[in-house]
């Protein structure tokens, strides 16, 4: 059974013209894939100045979308999404 947070995200995706169904889960997946990339590949992205991420989407735009969604959700639902995103951010910030 879907959680209240998932239902709220679903309703938000339905109500906002700039969101499509599945955008939030796609953003989480894209951010997750990005933060788990090997450091050498992250450095290549930085060195190559690949700011468009044309093949798979921009993980930084995905992270920005997640921030926006967290601000639009109720405090309880935002806290649940923030916990997921926070774990991913911790992976990225690890030395």
Q: What is the pLDDT of residue 1?
A: 37
Q: How do residues 60-82 score in pLDDT, each as one tens digit?
A: 899 999 999 999 999 999 999 99
Q: Are 52 and 58 in contact (CB under 8 A)?
A: yes
Query: 22 CB contacts (<8 Å, ≥6 apart)?
Result: 13
For residue 93, name the pLDDT band (cuts at 50, 70, 90): confident
Report d(CA 82, CA 1) in Å as an integer. 21
**Structure-block tokens of residue 15:** 């109500």
Of 48 and 14, more confident: 14
What is the arithmetic mean of pLDDT over 40-45?
60
- The yes-or-no verdict on residue 95 having pLDDT over 80 is no
């Amino acid at each position: 059974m879907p959680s209240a947070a998932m239902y709220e995200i679903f309703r938000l995706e339905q109500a906002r013209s700039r969101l499509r169904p599945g955008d939030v889960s796609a953003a989480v997946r894209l951010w997750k894939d990005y933060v788990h990339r090997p450091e050498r590949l992250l450095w290549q992205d930085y060195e190559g100045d690949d700011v468009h991420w044309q093949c798979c989407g921009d993980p930084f735009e995905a992270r920005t979308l997640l921030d926006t969604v967290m601000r639009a959700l109720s405090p309880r639902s935002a806290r649940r999404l923030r916990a997921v995103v926070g774990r991913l951010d911790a992976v990225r910030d690890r030395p």
